[in-house]
Chain A
Amino acid sequence: MQSAFGIIKTMKNSNIIHHPRFARDGKSVAFTPAVLAKVHALILRYPEGQQKSALLPVLHIAQEELGGYLSVDAMDYVATLLGIQPIEVYEVATFYSMFYLEKMGKYVIEVCRTGPCAISGGEKILAHLQEVLEIKPGETTPDGVFTLKEVECLGSCGTGPVMQVNSEYYEKLTPGKVDKLIEDFREYANRNKPGGLSWVEKFC
């Protein structure tokens, strides 16, 4: 647009949300029929008309089955499944710390930073991990294998310091133990599915 200020650039379609987290890549996402059957069974645990209640468990499943984080496409898909508005999914996904909105490493290492762990060596474990992985909390290693995160009390204070890697607890950590674990994870990283039982497998 030509104006007294020269050429002004304006966005053409103001309905599109331009935020990196909301970049849709247009790929359609969907659960496999087996997972979908489990999800439908989960929805039936809640009274008629309250299917939104299944949102948290279904988001756990979506995160695990659809790429390790909640892409906008995945969230929109969950909204359709539960018959709710996409915004109802976004506002929940952004509230809870276990939901990731960005691509994560294959192994997400979550170290407890809270008081009881801190006084029993948790600060040292976090420092050690930063040294070994050469990343800071919140970052992912360039090879995409590890993401390091600080989390709050994991309910494991008597066996601290503790970290959670893809939902598995690793307790009574020492720098030596951490080194060994990292080594193992590096080795496993080429296999298909890291971690223990999936959310879908947990629900009978």
Chain B
Amino acid sequence: MGGKILLAGIDIPGIRGFDVYRAHGGYAAVEKALREMTASEVGQEVNRSGLRGRGGAGFPTGLKWSFLDRKSDKPRYLVCNADESEPGTFKDRYLMQHLPHRLIEGLIISSYALGVNTCYIYIRGEFKYLVGILETAIMEARQHGFLGDRILGTDYSLNIYVHPGAGAYICGEETALLESLEGKRGNPRIKPPFPAFKGLYGCPTVVNNVETLAAVGPIILMGGETYSKIGRGKSTGTKLISACGNINNPGVYEIEMGLPVEDFIYAPEYCGGIANDKYLKAVIPGGSSVPILPADLMLNTAKGEKRLMTYESLADGDFETGTMLGSGGFIVYDEDACIVRNTWNLAHFYRHESCGQCSPCREGTGWMEKVLYRIEHGLGKMSDIDLLVRVAKNIEGNTICPLGDAAAWPVASAIRHFRKEFEFHVKHPETVKNIHHGALNIEEESLIPDSGTGIKYW
């Protein structure tokens, strides 16, 4: 396998500090790019690498950079998206905490390639403890001549600033993020115009995820061609996967794209199998916004091929029998997880996080939450299930930003694959009323977990 690229050196004591990082080959990529390459050569390497955005959509990074309006005489900006709030996702946090200089290095090279002199890192406000780590890393880089005026004696200058958000999932959406960075409410903008033409302060702007930008340094060092051979097909390179839920080893793993899902879940060096020897029931493999899949479809595609950790394989079967790689937030559910309760929980999340600009999203997320609350608490009707499907369909594609879709997909997919469980809730209201996670084995008394939590919502 390709070994560690993004997380290379993570186990070296003190690697968070500049001196140790530098002693282990750090900032060699910046030296190579700024001294030996032109800005457009850097862009070409990234293009050649096949690197795709790690923030969720998987859009080719080189292509995105090529859209940047270079004719405009306004300043250009690079904004690093460190908002990381997609449920199940905690990879960027891990990277910034342990290897802040890998990100700074990526930001310098990317800014150079884009002709940017000011770069902002928009980080979610809850990661307050990381703000200090990033500020220190930036200060160290400046002291050693890698930031500020005339970097390494070239005529290229760059400043990087950390900008904290203040608790709003929607600010991860790139145009909401830009609004927030301008000191406003995080209301997504209507596109077009795209940020490449009118972004921050109306200037040409590129927004990229932390992991995407951190990959740029290694790509420059090894060459785009070499990077593109790692991985599988159009899913090149390595990907950070944050694994959580009912598994033995939750954590952040750097995998080579193409790893079979089965290996990822069961191999001891990754998730290490399902905790407490339970059965695997379902997985949401790319953050809460992507469709949930039952165990059999997660391990093998509908065609019977092994499901792989790539953009293409996970999406195989589209929304009927497939899902998405998304942000790499890999959430594993064991036999005791109640899909209805989980769907209601996530519906609550999206209702809470909708910015409220578009009626289908603002109202639809509220309706879905209410109807799911009903079903989960033994107050549902059979017709509620199709009502949910209908509401989800009416949100999808009818909103300004993709949060509407992100709210609709989990509900639609949960019903598609676990309709029986929804029906069970409607048919047996007394049984489900006090059970939280544990609906699959509802008929076997012994497997009903001790609910007794006494939580009252609403």
Tell me the A residues contacting B by CB distance below 8 Å. 45, 47, 50, 52-57, 59-60, 82, 84, 88, 91-92, 95-99, 113-116, 118-120, 123-124, 126-127, 130-131, 151-160, 164, 167-169, 196-197, 199, 201-204
Contact = CB atoms under 8 A, between A and B. Distances in A.
Interface residues of B, number: 66
A113 B346 CA distance: 10
B85 interface: yes
A123 B53 CA distance: 34
A60 B242 contact: no
25 contacts: A47-B75, A52-B182, A56-B125, A56-B165, A57-B163, A60-B125, A60-B166, A88-B184, A95-B186, A96-B186, A97-B167, A98-B126, A113-B345, A115-B349, A119-B246, A119-B437, A120-B246, A123-B436, A124-B453, A127-B454, A156-B90, A157-B88, A157-B331, A168-B129, A203-B135
Interface of B: 75, 84-90, 93, 118, 124-129, 131-132, 135-136, 138-139, 159, 161-169, 180-186, 201, 242-246, 250-252, 288, 329, 331, 333, 337, 341-342, 345-346, 348-349, 352-353, 436-437, 453-455
A53 B436 CA distance: 44
A155 B127 contact: yes
Nearest to A54: B183
B182 A50 contact: yes
B166 A96 contact: yes
Task: Output the residue of B128, B244, B251 with the most chain A CB within 10 A.
Answer: B128
Contact of B244 (A96, A98, A157): A157
Contact of A204 (B86, B89, B138, B242): B138
A155 to B, nearest CB: 5
A81 to B, nearest CB: 12
A157 B183 contact: no
A108 B180 CA distance: 24
A131 B452 CA distance: 12
B245 A116 contact: yes
B79 to A, nearest CB: 12
B125 A152 contact: no
Given A53-B181, A60-B125, A98-B167, A158 B349 contact: no
A114 B246 CA distance: 15
B125 to A, nearest CB: 5
A131 B180 CA distance: 37
A45 B353 CA distance: 29
Contacts of B132: 197, 201-202
B347 to A, nearest CB: 10
B429 to A, nearest CB: 20
A40 to B, nearest CB: 15
Contacts of B138: 204
B252 A92 contact: no
Task: Output the residue of A95, A119, A127, A155 with the most chain B CB within 10 A.
Answer: A155
Given A92-B184, A96-B168, A157-B250, 14 more contacts: A45-B161, A47-B118, A53-B183, A96-B186, A97-B168, A98-B125, A99-B166, A118-B437, A123-B453, A152-B169, A158-B90, A167-B128, A202-B132, A204-B136
A204 B185 contact: no
B111 to A, nearest CB: 15
A44 B182 CA distance: 14
Nearest to A112: B87
A113 B250 CA distance: 18
A126 B245 contact: no
Contacts of B244: 116, 120, 157-158, 160
A160 B251 CA distance: 11
A126 B86 CA distance: 21
Q: What 9 pairs between A and B have smallest CB-CB spacing?
A: A55-B183, A96-B166, A97-B167, A98-B167, A158-B250, A52-B183, A157-B244, A153-B87, A95-B185
B331 A115 contact: yes
A199 to B, nearest CB: 7
Contacts of B342: 115, 118-119
Contacts of A113: 345, 348
Nearest to B355: A95
Contact of B164 (A60, A119, A157): A60
Contacts of A95: 168, 185-186
B359 to A, nearest CB: 19
A158 B126 contact: no
Contacts of B166: 56, 59-60, 96-99
A54 B182 CA distance: 8
A47 B436 CA distance: 51
A97 to B, nearest CB: 4
Contact of B139 (A57, A159, A204): A204
